[in-house]
Amino acid sequence: MATETHAKLLLQKQLKELYRNAVEGFSAGLVDENNIFEWKVTIIGPVDTIYEGGVFDVVMTFPPNYPNSPPEVRFTSEMWHPNVYTDGRVCISILHAPGDDPHGYEKASERWLPVHTVTTIILSVISMLSSPNVESPANVDAAIEWRERRHAFRKKVARIVRRSQEML
């Protein structure tokens, strides 16, 4: 129970900090005021990327032992990206359980560390939009299209960006 209390206090502190000092590129708040463990984040597609101008919703679900374990980060807006599963879950190294990678792809230092905050996580997701890792894709079809049919990939993303703007 002590770890859950610690997680609540830390998340409340991070939320207050984001309200006080907004970070360019996204905004965050709670899905439900009574649940500090579930956040809704709106990401603005980064400038000079094919996602520019898009408005994408993400839900972050934090475990009771946060920050010892990473949150799950999932796009609830439509997303086409090699590092986003078809169900919207984001697959980047810093969201993988701490310690050594059982598959040997990632160093322990690239995986989850308790020093990460909501801000560093979301900035990593925004960075992922700019530069996908197609060597270890979550969405194999998107990775193949990115590598072999870049024009088709760009057209699909342009449609998603347009639809995201129409939802406003």
Annotated catalytic residue: which of 28, 36, 91, 121? 91
What contacts 135, CB < 8 A, 6 or more positions away?
none
- Whether 4 is catalytic is no
Taking the C-alpha atoms of residue 48 and residue 24, their distance in angstroms, rounded to an integer, is 15
Q: What are the Cα distances from residue 165, in Å, to 80, 121, 162?
A: 16, 24, 5
Partner residues linked to 57 by β-bridges: 42
Judge contact between 55 and 165, C-beta under 8 A: yes
Q: Which residues are catalytic?
A: 91
